[in-house]
Each structure stands twice: as structure tokens, then as C-alpha cells.
Amino acid sequence: MPVPMPARRALRPSDAPRPSAAVLAVLLLALGACSTPPLRDGPPQRIPVDPEQVPDAVPRVETLRAGGPNKPYEALGRRYVPATDDIPWQERGLASWYGRKYHGRATASGEPYDMFAMTAAHPTLPIPSYVRVRNPANAREVIVRINDRGPFVDGRVIDLSYVAAYRLGVLAGVAPVELVRLTNEMIARGAAKPPPTPPPSSSPTSPPSELDPLGSMLVERGLAPAAQPRRAP
């Protein structure tokens, strides 16, 4: 005859297995991460300087090289070939700007991005370059130093720092501008003399030649895949 099985006792709440403290900590971290919105670009929460008093970039003759930030690169599936010579350049198009999301991050030149400095990004002008940017809507002009790459959107010709966009009056969004690159000859004959500024502090040691600031910048911004480590032969 079959042997009767003992009746199962219903589990009480106190009998149910409890998650460990480590599991609870992981769950809390995951919930916190899901509730934290991604950092969006925009103006600074606090402006430590008077943007109207920030002087233009001071044009000076700087060495251009074919490698580093001036080598061909790809972004968003498009190939760009930067100029490596001291070329004259005039251009019209839309200007955009970038702010706190990239503040302190490395630019294509390897320099940290300073949203309160008179700098800008251009897809193909040689780095470094000095450019006079004019807003035809209000006749405002600034001189910026090109030390980064971008923007990578059709119709846009320059990505301004926050303070440069403030000075030009284009913080509300993209706006038409006119660009003129200052060649070494123009700089030498004083074609553009911005207001005098205090002497700069000692510049940091240049990074080793094997570093690739442009590639690192594109990877960090999700515009290019990360390089795969090389296997030993």
C-alpha cells in the first residue's frame, strides 16, 4: 500500500530566505543608477567669470604638424581630412556650442576643454588655428583658437566654447556665422590684435608622441570604436 506523504507546511514570512546585505546593496545601487539621469550638455551651474570681460584669444604663429590632431579621422561614419598647411579660409554656416558636459575633458589637441576660454572646434581646419567669428545678426566678433574637432552635423561649421557663444550672442541655439582664418602672414603684420592679456602660466609638458588625443576624444564621445589591444606575436 502507498506510504502517505507528510503534509507540507506553508512557509511563513519569517521562514522565507532573506537576501544578504551584499545583495541588498547591489539592488540599491542599481536602483540609484536607474534613477540618475545622464549628464546633459548645457550652460554652467555657476559662472566664475564675467563673460563680457573674457578677452579674445591672442593670435600667434604656432607650428603645424601632419600627425596628431591633424591626421585623417572618421566620425559618425564620415571621413575627414584636416588641412596641415597655413591656408587662408573663409566660411559661412551655423555655429553651435558645447558646455559643462565636456568641461575638463581632453580636446583633440590633448588640451583640457575650458568652457570659459575663447576656443572652438572645427572639423578640418589645422590645429591650432586662430579664427575670427562674426555674428551677422548683431555684428559681434570674437577671435577663438581652434583646438578641437567637431561639429559633425551637416550645415554646422564651428562648435564654440560657452563663453565664445555668450560673447557672440548665440547661446539660444545654432545661429549663422562667418569665419575667417587668420594666417601666419596676417598674424605677423598685426591684422588682428585682440586686447592684451596677462602672460600665460607655464604650459604642461607635451604628451608623448605615441598618445592619440584625437582618437581618445572621438572614442570618449562615442564617435569611434575603441582600439583593440594588440596581441603579442
> 3-state DSSP: the chain helix, strand, coil percent, rounded to 5?
20, 20, 60
9 in any annotated domain: no
Confidence grade of residue 100 (pLDDT, cut at 50, 70, 90): confident
209 in any annotated domain: no
149 in any annotated domain: yes
Is the peptide bond between 151 and the residue preceding it cis, with omega within 30 degrees of 0?
yes
Confidence grade of residue 124 (pLDDT, cut at 50, 70, 90): very high
Instruction: Give the C-alpha separation, 87 to 14, whole Å.
Output: 78
Number of domains in the chain: 1
pLDDT attached to residue 107: 95
Are residues 93 and 157 in contact, defined by beta-carbon separation less than 8 angstroms? yes
What's the pTM value of the predicted model, to 2 decimals?
A: 0.68
Residue 210 has pLDDT above 60, yes or no: no
173 in any annotated domain: yes
Query: 41-55, 112-126, 139-153, 189-203 — which is least confidently predicted?
Result: 189-203
Range of the domain at 65: 51-194+214-220
25 in any annotated domain: no
Residue 84 has pLDDT above 70, yes or no: yes
pLDDT attached to residue 47: 73
Are residues 101 and 39 in contact, defined by beta-carbon separation less than 8 angstroms? yes
Burial 18-45 (b: 16+ CB within 10 A, else e): eeeeeeeeeeeeeeeeeeeeeeeeeeee
Mean pLDDT of the chain: 77
Residue 204 has pLDDT above 60, yes or no: no
pLDDT attached to residue 101: 83
105 in any annotated domain: yes
CATH number where 87 lies: 2.40.40.10
120 in any annotated domain: yes
pLDDT attached to residue 104: 84
The predicted-structure confidence for 10-21, as pLDDT tens digits, reads as follows: 445 445 445 444
pLDDT attached to residue 61: 94
Give the chain's largest Cα–Cα span.
Answer: 113
The predicted-structure confidence for 146-181, as pLDDT tens digits, reads as follows: 999 999 999 999 999 999 999 999 999 899 999 999
Residue 218 backbone dihedrals phi, psi, to 5 degrees = -65, -40
